[in-house]
Amino acid sequence: MAADNNGSGEEQRRIMRRHLIYYLRVYDGVSSRVVGHVVDISPHGLQLIADQPVPVQAEHRLRMSFPGMEASRDELVFDAVCKWCRQDENPAFYLAGFQIRNLMPDEAVFIQGMISEFGL
């Protein structure tokens, strides 16, 4: 699997991300509005596909729900900042890359478990 490249000429990411077999919805942690769907994820960041552009450098409180997942929790709430956003190949959608901030060690382990359970 190749490392991510955000297209801005920055050094390629060294942390591998896993593409999920289905899109998990990601909600705004305050308004519960759908921000987008997970395209790929790691404990350090995630990429979303969204209907609307996401402002770059904007800080977000995000929430992912995992109904039916056999785990110790059924949702994860975390802080993230949008590092880039660009129009998808399908002009009706946008791709946005987020850096996850202040993730607790047990939350990082949970994400790794989610990747193992749902990842390709």
CATH assignment of the domain containing 59: 2.40.10.220
pLDDT, tens only, 34-79: 999 998 889 999 999 999 999 999 999 999 887 665 556 778 999 9
Asked if residue 90 belongs to a domain, the reply is: yes
Domain, as residue range, for 43: 23-118
19 has a pLDDT exceeding 80: no
CA 21 to chain centre: 14
Q: Tell me whether residue 108 is in a domain.
A: yes
Record the pTM. 0.76
User: DSSP of 21-87, one letter per residue?
Assistant: SSPPEEEETTT--EEEEEEEEETTEEEEEESS---TT-EEEEEEE-TT--SS-SEEEEEEEEEEEEE
- For residue 94, the surrounding DSSP H or E stretch is strand 94-101
Specify the pLDDT at position 24.
Answer: 81
- Structural domains of the chain, count: 1
For residue 65, list its beta bridge partners. Answer: 75
Residue 68: what pLDDT? 62
Instruction: Give domain status of residue 13, yes or no.
Output: no
- pLDDT grade, residue 3 (50/70/90)? very low
